[in-house]
Amino acid sequence: MKKIIEIIIKSILIVALFISLLGFSILNILSKTIFNQGYTLQKLEETNYYGNIYTQIKSDFRNYIYQSGLDEDVIEDVVTLDEVKQDTKKMITGIYSGIIEEINTEQIEERLNNNIKASLEGRSITPEIQEAIEIFVNQITTQYEDTLSKTVYKNEIYKYYSKAENIVKKAEKITIVVAVISGVLIVIINFKKIFKNIGFLGIPFLSAGIGCKVIHSYIKKEIYIEYFTILNDAITITLREYLLGLVEQVLKFGYIYIATGIVLIVFGNVMHGLKYHSHRSKNKEKKTTPSNQQKTEPIVYKQIFGQESNESYNHNYNKMYEEQQKKKEIVKKEKKKYNKEPKNKPEKEQKVKKEIEEKETKESTISRPRRTRSRGKHG
């Protein structure tokens, strides 16, 4: 029953460790990627996000210039690549720090007004034209901010990011605590078999590694990240690389867990085998050593009277034992004598045989005294 309870407890701990390891890998990946400002900025650089979003902004500006009837030169050099880069970093820093950062469009507005005035120089600007220019300038600055930060999504991100980050960090700590406690209990649940328990410890690691591999394979086969499309080309390209990076991190954890599990299983079982064989050989040596063998007299006395021997009993027992040995020798001599005599005397043969049988019967009855239960002192 005790062994069954131990197996049940160990199975529960192995499952708990497996779940905590798998959960930790996912939460740790989220913590080091999505909730890591440095990783995000690195991906923006790697995917040339700034250059792509700058191209997208200029394309959006052209749509408005065609509607306004103004020269296309009006929107040239209104926004620079460095400004796009600085405003993007400012917005991302605000998200990760929990501070709402507004994009300053005053310089864009000023450059655009100067370009329009230079383009319309020498023409009379009526109140209607001035109003149309102001609307155009407002559309351009709004479009810049919207293309750069996607204002609607930005507000939602600011709203939920800090809550999500706190949940992920707390959950990650919980998985670490559960994993450590489960691992320690698996090892010490039966400390005599510590190496065997270390082998058991490798099972959840190996299972978690296989689980990560399965998740990676499923995402690769069933979810076509390469074909994701969202908002605009700049964001789409960056998002694809971002998600592919997350998937590769899952695979990396899978390899680490599998390697750890194999090492623990092999090490634990090998050491347990060596310890078992060493212990077994020591026991054999103890059994074969004469000094460890117990004397016959105390054991016999204890079997008969239920207590250790004393000197008087040992003396009587030795005397009785010597007599028994002498009688055995007499019986052996009689047998030898009988075998040497001729076989043509049936009556004498039966008589001698009968005498030998009687002697053997008598000898067997006195070979060991009857065991009696003692009451109080032994007489």
Distances in Å between the alpha carbon of 307 and those of 17, 49, 89, 315? 53, 92, 90, 16
| pTM of the predicted model as reported, rounded to 2 decimal places | 0.64
370 phi, psi to nearest 5 deg: -70, 150
pLDDT at 281: 60
Q: Among 73, 80, 92, 86, which Cα is nearest to 54's?
A: 80
* Alpha helices for the chain (secondary structure H): 2-32, 37-46, 49-68, 81-97, 106-119, 127-149, 151-188, 194-222, 233-288, 296-305, 311-340, 346-366
Query: pLDDT, tens digit, for every residue of 319-354?
Result: 777 777 777 787 777 766 666 555 555 555 666 667
Given this model, what pLDDT does residue 364 score?
56
Neighbours of 357 (CB within 10 A): 11
Q: Which carries the bigger pLDDT value, residue 272 or residue 290? A: 272
- Which residues 6+ apart lie within 8 Å of 312 measured at CB? none
The average pLDDT across 182-198 equals: 84
- What's the pLDDT at 338? 60
Segments making up each domain of the chain, as ranges: 2-274, 297-366
Length of the chain, in residues: 379
Token code pair at residue 143: 């479009």
Q: So what's the pLDDT on residue 352?
A: 60
